[in-house]
Amino acid sequence: MAPPAPHPRPRSLLFFLLLFLFLVPPPAFTEAAEDVKGEVRHSQKWERSGKSSENNLELKEIVFVIQSQSNSFHAKRAEELEHDILQQAVQLGQELPTVILLHKVARHEGAWTILPLVPNFSAAYGRNSSWIFFCEEETRIHIPKLLETLQRYDQLKEWFLGKALHDEESTIIHHYAFAENPTAFKFPDFAAGWALSMPLVNKLTKRLKTESPKSDFTIDLKHEIALYIWERGNGPHLTPVPELCTDDGSSAPAPGCATLFTTSLPLCGMPVEEKDIFVAVKTCKKFHGDRIPVVKKTWESQARLIEYYSDYAESSIPTVDLGLPNTDRGHCGKTFAILERFLNRSPDKTAWLVIVDDDTLISLPRLRKLLSCYDSTEAVFLGERYGYGLGTGGYSYVTGGGGMVFSREAVRKLLASKCRCSSNDAPDDMVLGMCFSGLGVPVTHSPLFHQARPTDYPRDYLAHQVPVSFHKHWNVDPVKVYFTWLAPGGEEAGAGRKQPPSKQEL
Ligand SMILES: *[C@@H]1O[C@H](CO)[C@@H](O)[C@H](O)[C@H]1NC(C)=O
Ligand SMILES: *[C@@H]1O[C@H](CO)[C@@H](O)[C@H](O)[C@H]1NC(C)=O
């Protein structure tokens, strides 16, 4: 890969392309696209039959699926990527490919888990396309290089292509799978883009009719999809493709990469001010002595408005006793009491509420930047998204340990509804997910929040993130974890990597 640049490099071609796209008004673009489309139709004829792998792969044979989200910030980013893909097609003089924005395909709560939509992809494109290429909204694609890359693989065979990640040790987020040899199983880094050949899509479709994915829970989708495809050895492994990269797409151009990724923290204008974020820490008497001191030593000083909610009032912290009995698990009663208190009593109608556990480690300066991209007058419910029962009409939720972020409007909407805990010890994060799902408020996913410890995630995956949170003290020194991964000062760089500051202007 390219050596680190001592100075910010000249802006990449991609930057100019993006700039160009922002400047070109959509109608002009559409007309241009239609023109080119017409010309191409004359000169090239679609011939599916008798196709062999030596033939040039045409762009229209690839269906692009952007793993997009309906929140307005994310939808806009995905539309910009769609525009970029189509614009590149025009410039190549190729017929336009199909580009699908996942959040637009279906109101289906589980669309983001992809497997439920595979039969639909098979029905619509199984006969006339060769590949489905999936990517995230921040993936940047160099289309000619992608075509060249996919062409190397015989599209009449079953292929599962991507940038391979693996566990270093067995981890809770993968249900401790492959405990004897955790590094052996490979799964795709979605950020780099990943692809399924149509024969594999069609095979998966048949299998999905009789065999749904094993678990009721969706925790780490990329791992779960790879497991389903692998089918305990009956299906293909992920084939690692070196051209699918997660190098930073807005600084040094990476030769040889068909994809790149925006690795910096999103920033849209000024960071949200400290006074606009209210932090609620859930604790209980038995953890006052060991967990709260960690919060005090690490991130508490970054919070302007913070309260600790416990089953016991202790003035040295201080904690607020919400008058509810502590529950060993669940905390639903406590969480709803926090929501009520925020809505009715928080000073100056604070825009944002963050609820964390007493063993959550969080970077509030990074959160303030991230939140600049969201509109607190919209109902925003943000964090690391998990799913429950999504194959059968379940719901998505924000997993509590990584931190749950609510806009004031989301809290207002929720409390105005009748949706409440079934019991004080119901799992709060799941109940909230169910309630918001019923209200039509989507979970907005950010992979920068983490329900587990840094050691629970692949190193290569964390390398292209600026993490906002981690969770759990088990077998780690949490103070060290905070200062290594989350402490102020590293906001600009992906973990352990320096990047020119100029890119945040993008
Ligand atoms: C996908 O296919 C199923 C079964 O044919 C259908 O019921 C469903 O509405 C389709 N979903 C979308 C988003 O097209
Ligand atoms: C394949 O069929 C789908 C649905 O019928 C259509 O939208 C798409 O444009 C077709 N693709 C090609 C390459 O003909």
Q: Which ligand is nearest to the CA of 209?
A: 1
In a mutational test of the pocket of ligand 2, which residue from 125, 133, 201 has the highest number of ligand atoms less than 8 Å from its CB?
Answer: 125
Q: Which residue has the higher pLDDT, 161 or 11?
A: 161
Among 7-21, 148-162, 365-379, where is mean pLDDT lowest?
A: 7-21
- DSSP H helical segments within 186-282, as ranges? 198-210, 221-230
Pick from 100, 129, 201 the residue to mutate for probing ligand 2's pocket: most ligand atoms within 8 Å of its CB: 129
Would the pLDDT of 192 be above 60?
A: yes
253 preceded by a cis bond (ω within 30 of 0):
no
Tell me the CA distances in angstroms from 387 to 20, 315, 392, 445, one per residue in order: 38, 38, 11, 11
* Residue among 47, 58, 98, 132 to mutate when testing ligand 2 (max atoms within 8 A of CB): 98
Q: How far is the CA of 81 from the centre of ligand 2 (A)?
A: 20
Ligand 2 nearest-atom number relative to CA 127: 1
* 275-316 per-position pLDDT tens digit: 999 999 999 999 999 999 999 999 999 999 999 999 999 999
Mention every residue, 6+ apart, whose C-beta is less than 8 A from residue 439: 379, 413, 414, 417, 419
Q: Which pair of tokens denotes residue 411?
A: 């809290």
- 215 pLDDT tier (thresholds 50, 70, 90): confident
Closest ligand 2 atom to residue 95 Cα is: 13
Q: Residue 334 above 90 pLDDT? A: yes
Does residue 60's CB lie within 6 angstroms of at least one atom of ligand 2? yes
Query: Minimal CA–CA distance to 280: which of 222, 364, 211, 203?
Result: 364
Q: What is the pLDDT of residue 362?
A: 98
State which of 105, 113, 120, 201 you would mutate to test the pocket of ligand 1, scoring each by most atoms of that ligand within 8 A of its C-beta.
120
Q: State which ligand 1 atom lies nearest to the alpha carbon of 105.
A: 13
Distance from Cα 380 to the centre of ligand 1, integer Å: 27
Residues 427-473: tens digit of each pLDDT: 999 999 999 999 999 999 999 999 999 999 999 999 999 999 999 99
Q: Which residues line ligand 1 (CB under 6 A)?
A: 105-106, 108, 119-120
Lowest mean pLDDT among 17-31, 83-97, 135-149, 154-168: 17-31
Tens digit of each residue's pLDDT (9 = 90 or more) over 95-142: 999 999 999 987 678 899 999 999 999 999 999 999 999 999 999 999
Centre of ligand 1 to C-alpha 81, Å, is 25
* Spacing, Cα 120 to ligand 2 middle (Å): 13
Q: In angstroms, what is the span from residue 48 Cα to ligand 2's centroid?
A: 12
The length of the chain is: 506
Query: Out of 49-63, 284-298, 346-360, which region has the weakest mean confidence (pLDDT)?
Result: 49-63
- Identify whether 318 is preceded by a cis peptide bond (ω within 30 of 0): yes
Q: Which of 473, 227, 431, 444 is nearest to 334 (CA)?
A: 431
Closest CA to 136 of 261, 263, 264, 266: 261
Tokens of 54: 């030596």
Domains of the chain: 59-261 (3.90.550.50), 277-486 (3.90.550.50)
Q: How far is the CA of 120 from the centre of ligand 1 (A)?
A: 6
pLDDT at 268 over 70: yes
Ligand 2 pocket check for 160: Cβ under 6 Å = no
In the predicted structure, residue 69 carries a pLDDT above the cut 90: yes
Which among 157, 127, 139 is positioned nearest to 102, based on CA atoms? Answer: 139
Tokens of 214: 């094993």
Region 306-327: mean pLDDT is 91
Q: How confident is the model at residue 256 (pLDDT cuts 50, 70, 90)?
A: very high
How much is the pLDDT for 328? 73
98 lines ligand 2 (CB under 6 A): yes
Question: If you measure from the C-alpha of residue 126 to the centroid of ligand 2, how many angstroms do you get, rounded to a whole number?
Answer: 9
SS (H, E, C) 61-112: HEEEEECCCCCHHHHHHHHHHHHHHHHHHHHCCCCCCEEEEHHHHCCCCCHH
Average pLDDT (169-197) is: 94
Q: Is the CB of 122 under 6 A from ligand 2?
A: no
Does the pTM surpass 0.95? The reply is: no
On the question of pLDDT at 20 being above 60, the answer is no
In the chain, the percentage of residues whose pLDDT exceeds 70 is 85
Overall average pLDDT of the 212-220 stretch? 88
